[in-house]
Each structure stands twice: as structure tokens, then as C-alpha cells.
Amino acid sequence: MAQLWGGRFTKETDKLVYNFNASISFDQKFYEQDIRGSKAHVKMLAKQGILTEEERDKILEGLEGILADVKAGRLAITSEYEDIHSFVEANLIDRIGDPGKKLHTGRSRNDQVALDMKLYVRDEIDAIDQEVKALLEALQKIMEENVHTYMPGFTHLQKAQPVTLAHHVGAYFEMFRRDRGRLFDIRRRMNTCPLGAGALAGTTYPLDREYTARLLDFDEPTRNSMDSVSDRDYVIELLSALSTIMMHLSRFSEEIILWNSNEYRFVEIDDAYSTGSSIMPQKKNPDIAELVRGKTGRVYGALMSILTTMKGIPLAYNKDMQEDKELTFDAIDTVKGCLALFTGMVSTMQFNKANMEASAKNGFTNATDAADYLVNHGVPFRDAHGIVGQLVLKCIDRGISLDELSLEEYKEISPVFEQDIYEAISMKTCVEKRITLGAPGPDVMEKVIAGNKKYLEEN
């Protein structure tokens, strides 16, 4: 348990204290980023004449060897080191001797960990973005195939007006597209390099921070060294964006669970994404959708947790901030897992189009259109609303739908009705007459779908 900072201490750290303090069990996740950062740092030190070229080459070779060995499973990251930074440095010194001791020149673990976390989060933002894109592609396919698939649209979970499956799924397309936008914004805002901030006050070495930033694909170095080592805003922003993604996945999951129920039968989830019951042989449960809905709570929890952790921390670095890692890693892994499974589930799901259409027909979803028919014949809307209300009551009494009433029955309530009422309230008319941008009418839907296609090709 030799520590980087043992010099000033006369007693061995108590084992419990050591374990409580150590972060190697989780920060080993970013060994690759830690080594990437060290390589850039060393290149910059040599460029500035702080290290010789020979020392630089030895260190780079050593770091690459460690990376290759860890990747190949030849070198295990063990709890004998306090954190990933100590692990890499100790192994480097073991391998190349004295030059290894110069790696940490002009650097603190505070700016090092700030860098590693940023590199890790940035890589993961890119990976999550690709998962969201794959989901959008799956949704786009469903939309393309279902411009004419009628289904009820709901408000208050009551059948409201007919829409199409393309239109309904298109609503989720918009949500996940905005989610990608949020990830993009965060990535852009966080893309500044903290390396060179030192412990909190910069260093007296003539570091070239612009150069290091460029080597690591940052837009520029950070502008305040105290902020650099204590900024976790981007983690909070990411967890907020991830919470929103989960919220969207959870809403969609909830609908799929409803649609998959015996009462709706709008969809059938593929066997590969369902499970059975140990006691009830007839069951096919939507467990994946339920788990996605359930895991949402845990990602929200991570956001609340880091917000609370950060709120009382004086400048600059404090050990509290080590708490950002486990919950961020867990949230990232949870979201990636949920996105991949959800995409698999929706792209293999069967839609029972006949049931959807029948359901749209049976819930008076065309009542607004019946009222609009009257309005088009000069009846004020409020009166039309009342007339159709009476018709609906009549239908409920007899257990039929509006298009099953005879023309005489229509005329009993209002003489304005003529034979063309049937066409005016047909499902086809109800949907296809809704032609404003954003509505389910097929022509305008096709335009939106074409726009989506272009967006997916370009982003």
C-alpha cells in the first residue's frame, strides 16, 4: 500500500481508511483516458524543454506498454494502488525507472482527474449519441411503413382523435432528436482542457496549455485554474440529459406495455424481448419495457446525488468530488444498455394494424369531425358541439359508433346532416384532412419523414 504521498507521513494508513479513500475499484474504468492524457502531457513537457526527447520517448514507450498489457489482460489493475493515476505511475517507474518519476512534473492529480473524467465523459457522449441515433433509425423505419396505419390518439388516456402510427412514433422521433441536440450542446460547452491547472493555482513550469489541449482534441484550455479542478457542471448537465433520455424511454415503455396488454393488443413484443411466468403458462410479459421504465429512477438518482454532493463544496478541489464517478459510470452504462435493448425491442415488435384501426373507429374519435361538418354548413361551433354530444349519447345507449347511425337518426337531431356526413367522418377523411405541418395527414407526414431522413444522413 505504498502511496504517492507517503513522504510526509509517519504512520501507515489504517486499512479501513485506505479502502474508504481509495478509488481504484471504479476509476480503473478510465485507464485508457488516463494514459492518453499522460502521453499528451509528456509530449508537451518535452516540447517545452522540461523533459529531454529521450526521457519523453522512454515514458511514451512505457505508457504504451502499460496500455497494451492492461488491454490484453496481461497486467491486472489491483487494489494495491489507491487510484488509477497511482497505478499507471507506479507501473511506469517499475518498467523504465528514473524517467518515469518525471511524468508527474507540472501536474497534480486534481487536474489529472479533471482531465480523465472529461475525456471519459466526452467519449461516452459520442457513444450514447450513436445509440440514440440507432433508435431514431428504427423509429424512422416504423414511420415510413405506417403513414396509413390508423390508430386512436389519446388525451387523458381517453380516445380523442384518430392519428396514424407514423404520427404517434414521430412524436418520439422529435423527443430523441432533441436529446441528441442536448448531448451535442454539452459536448461543445465542456470541450476545454483542464490540464495545466495543477492542484489549483497553475504551475511555475512554462507549460504550453494550448498545445496539450490541441493534442487531446479540446477546443481550448480552461481559463481559470481553480474552476478547472472543481468544475463538475458538465457531469450534472450530462446526467440531466441522460435523465431526459430515460424519461422519454420510460414514457414510450409505458405505452408499449399498455399496447402489449390483453386489453389493447396493438402490438406483440417479440419472444426474444419477452419473458414468461413461472406459474402462469399463458403469460408473455413485457419485462424489457418494464425494466427500462424502472431504471429511470436510478438515473434520476444519480443526478440528484451529484447536485447534492456539489452544492456545499468550497473552492477548489475537495475529495467529495470523487463521488462523481460511480454514479456517472452507472448512469452511462444504464442508459447505453436501455437504449440498445429498447431499439432491439421496437424494431422487432409486430403492430396489429387491424386492432389499432378498429380501436380508432370505436371510440368516437371522429366526433370532432362531425362537429366540424356542421360548422362547415353554417352551424356555430358551440351548437355543433352540443348536437354531436347528443348523437354520441344515442350511440352509447345502443352500443354503436357514429357511422352506424342512419341518416334519419342524424336528421332527428339536426336537419343540417346529409348523406355526405358518412364520408366526412370516415377514418380516412379524419386523418387525411389534417394537413397542417405536424399533423398526421399522409402528405405532410411524408414531408416530415423526408426531412428526418435528411437529418439522419447529415448528423
Residue from 102, 109, 167, 232 in contact with ligand ARG (CB under 6 A) = 109
The CA distance from 99 to 12, in Å, is 27
168 is catalytic: no
Q: Looking at beta carbons only, is 6 or 206 nearer to ligand ARG?
A: 6
Region near ligand ARG per CB under 6 A, out of 7-15, 213-221, 239-247, 319-327: 319-327
Which residue's Cβ has the minimum distance to ligand ARG?
322
Which residue in the block uniquely carries the three cell numbers 498545445? 211
Contacts with ligand ARG, 10-49, as mask; x by CB under 6 A: -------------x---x----------------------
Q: Looking at beta carbons only, is 19 or 277 nearer to ligand ARG?
A: 19
Contact 431, 151 (CB under 8 A): no
Peptide bond into 2 cis (omega under 30): no
Contact 395, 416 (CB under 8 A): no
Please report, as residue ranges, which positions from 47 to 86 form the binding site for ligand ARG (by CB under 6 A).
Answer: 83
- Cα-Cα-Cα-Cα dihedral sign, residues 113, 115, 116, 118: positive
Compute how many other C-beta atoms are within 10 angstroms of the C-beta atom of residue 262. 6
Closest CA to 193 of 414, 37, 2, 21: 37
Region near ligand ARG per CB under 6 A, out of 96-104, 288-296, 318-326, 442-450: 318-326
Q: Looking at beta carbons only, is 118 or 167 nearer to ligand ARG?
A: 118
Residue from 51, 70, 103, 321 in contact with ligand ARG (CB under 6 A) = 321
Cell numbers that stand for 145 in this block? 411503413
Q: What Å distances lie between residue 264 and 304, 352, 356, 372, 444, CA to CA?
A: 36, 10, 8, 29, 28
316 counts as binding ligand ARG under rule CB under 6 A: no
Region near ligand ARG per CB under 6 A, out of 61-69, 105-113, 124-132, 383-391: 105-113
The CA distance from 260 to 63, in Å, is 53
State the number of binding residues for ligand ARG (CB under 6 A).
Answer: 10
Q: How far is the CB of 23 from ligand ARG (least distance, A)?
A: 4
Active-site residue among 38, 156, 167, 406?
156
Region near ligand ARG per CB under 6 A, out of 36-44, 109-117, 253-261, 354-362: 109-117
The CA distance from 243 to 257, in Å, is 20
322 counts as binding ligand ARG under rule CB under 6 A: yes
The CA distance from 209 to 339, in Å, is 37
Contact 183, 121 (CB under 8 A): no
The CA distance from 225 to 233, in Å, is 15
Task: Identify the three-state secondary structure at position 232.
Answer: coil
Region near ligand ARG per CB under 6 A, out of 34-42, 108-116, 246-254, 419-427: 108-116
Long-range contacts of 4-9 (CB under 8 A, 24+ apart): 4/82, 4/85, 4/86, 4/89, 4/109
Q: How far is the CB of 281 from ligand ARG (least distance, A)?
A: 51
DSSP secondary structure string, 143-184?
A: HHH-TT-EEEEEETTEEEEEEEHHHHHHHHHHHHHHHHHHHH
Residue from 113, 215, 302, 449 in contact with ligand ARG (CB under 6 A) = 113
The CA distance from 115 to 228, in Å, is 9
Q: How far is the CB of 321 from ligand ARG (least distance, A)?
A: 5
Residue from 110, 253, 260, 359 in contact with ligand ARG (CB under 6 A) = 110
Task: Identify the three-state secondary structure at position 285.
Answer: strand
Helix-strand-coil split of the chain, %, nearest 5: 65, 5, 30
Q: Looking at beta carbons only, is 117 or 215 nearer to ligand ARG?
A: 117
Region near ligand ARG per CB under 6 A, out of 143-151, 316-324, 355-363, 431-439: 316-324
Q: How far is the CB of 21 from ligand ARG (least distance, A)?
A: 8
Q: Looking at beta carbons only, is 5 or 281 nearer to ligand ARG?
A: 5
Q: Looking at beta carbons only, is 322 or 347 nearer to ligand ARG?
A: 322
156 is catalytic: yes
Binding site for ligand ARG (CB under 6 A): 23, 27, 83, 109-110, 113, 317, 319, 321-322
Active site residues: 156, 277
